[in-house]
Amino acid sequence: MTANLTVKSIVDLVRSGKQTPTQLAAAYLDRTRSIAQKLNSHLHLDEAAALSEALAAEKRIHEIGAHRLPLAGVPVLVKDNICVRGSKTTCGSKILENYVATYDATVIKRLREAGAFVLGKLNMDEFAMGSSNENSAFGPVRNPWNLNYVPGGSSGGSAASVAARLAPVALGSDTGGSIRQPASFCGIVGLKPTYGTVSRFGLVAFGSSLDQIGPLTTTVEDAALVMDVLAGLDASDSTSVQHPQSDFARGLSENPDALKGMTVGIPEEFFESGLDSEVGACLERAIADVQRAGAKIKRVRLPNISYSVAAYYVIATAEASANLARFDGIRYGYRTKEAGLGLKDLYRKTRSEGFGQEVKQRIMLGTFVLSSGYYDAFYSKANKVRELISRDFDAVFDSGVDLILTPTSPTPPFKLGEKLSDPLAMYLSDICTIGVNLAGLPAISVPCGRTKAGLPVGMQLIAPKFNEQTLLNGAHAYERATEWHKDQPAI
């Protein structure tokens, strides 16, 4: 039953009285038992807690009425760096292996208020640092299209679970592409909102000026329905804003042929050397589909985008080194078992044992670029490059472009272990997505094809700040004109 359900169809079933949240929870848990272990997608699946959550949602529906709850009865899976009270929040790290969250993230509160319920917590790259979900302390996640391949990262558990239909929606976080790239690798929809659109209260920070929470779903309409609930000002997050647009889902139905009359920019930098030939072929077909749907194609330039990876890995690691300083073995989380240590040795041993290799590398790099004598040479310069990249995007949009179209990833999914020995090749997996985070823009990945081996390929659409409605309208119109979103892995 669950294999073909969307957020929209679940809400319709609950409102009609044909299904209850507890029935849906039982069905999804049954499917999860048979599939999740193959994927290693879940870190915490407490069936009793999930059914209790479903009962609470059922009670809320009876009290308020299903028609007044936009996500009535919808089961949601949550990336394990988002706090859910009473549940472990490990961030995929040994250092938080036994940490139980004492409060709910704002996004969790909003989902529950809308009639949804939490089904479980998902595997991820440790502290969201990775592009393959191989950096988790609890083992890699596998791609449901082919278990020998990565699902992308860092929200790999979220993308794999939605692709395998273990829930109609999962929350992820996106610092440099961590929603969109795994969505591309798993053949689903992944939306990264404008910075500040969704509250980060309750998200364990990686790069505070870059992080955003967003939904992974099987359709663009579902992403819009979830965004209607998640978006908005939060007094607990000073970086959050009141979005100037609202009712994204209704906007889709009012503009089913939204691409007609739009101008879509194609940045030449994303289609030059380094793009996999099969990905390139899928993107050329997607551009032709967009054109057939009525859009005007315009070739554009983003002159400084080639510096985005370098700027990102200075800024993100600098912010990570500051954010992760709190994990010291004193206040909470893992502490070394070695006795009789002084304070400095306690910090050193705890962090050496508790953090994985990738996290330690990034902390050291971030600490270095912030250190005396190197701040101006690296961190300050990277922020100047960030501003130049942001201005490049502004110039393209100011030239009359409504949306920018790029590959989501320069390659299709790669094999487990293939890039672990080459950090630069791994970092370049996010070359198409990083610039969006540096500029604070909204972007979405939608399925646009498959390789000869049957692996998914994603197309990224980018919009100006706070133009989620235009972004969703364009993605929805493309989705209506193609069939790729209907494909499911055989797992």
Neighbouring CB atoms inside 10 A of 102's CB total: 10
Nearest to 291 by CA among 272, 264, 319: 264
Instruction: Please spell the DSSP secondary structure of 402-418, one letter per residue.
Output: SEEEEESSSS---BTTS
Contact 153, 123 (CB under 8 A): no
Using the 8-state DSSP alphabet, how is residue 294 labeled? T
- The counts of H helices and E strands in the chain are 16, 11
Answer whether the bond into residue 154 is a cis peptide, omega within 30°. yes
- Is-contact 438 386, C-beta < 8 A? yes
- Catalytic one of 79, 192, 419, 465: 79
CA separation, residue 435 to residues 61, 301, 389, 410, 443 (Å): 41, 13, 7, 14, 11
Active-site residue (options: 154, 240, 308, 445): 154
Q: Is 178 a catalytic residue?
A: yes
In the sheet that holds 212-217, the strands lie side by side as 42-44, 117-122, 75-79, 169-174, 212-217, 189-192, 443-450, 456-462, 403-407, 263-267, 296-300
DSSP-derived pairing of the beta strands 75-79 and 169-174 = parallel
Question: Is residue 380 annotated as part of the catalytic site, yes or no?
Answer: no
**Which tokens go with 60?**
């809320």
Beta bridge partner(s), residue 171? 78, 215
Residue 358 φ then ψ, to 5° = -65, -40
User: Which of 158, 178, 240, 308 is flagged as catalytic?
Assistant: 178
**Separation between Cα atoms, residue 216 and residue 189, nearest integer Å:** 6
Task: Report how far apart, in Å, the C-alpha atoms of 68 and of each of 57, 63, 124, 435, 485 are.
Answer: 13, 10, 34, 38, 29
79 is a catalytic site residue: yes
Please list the active-site residues. 79, 154, 178
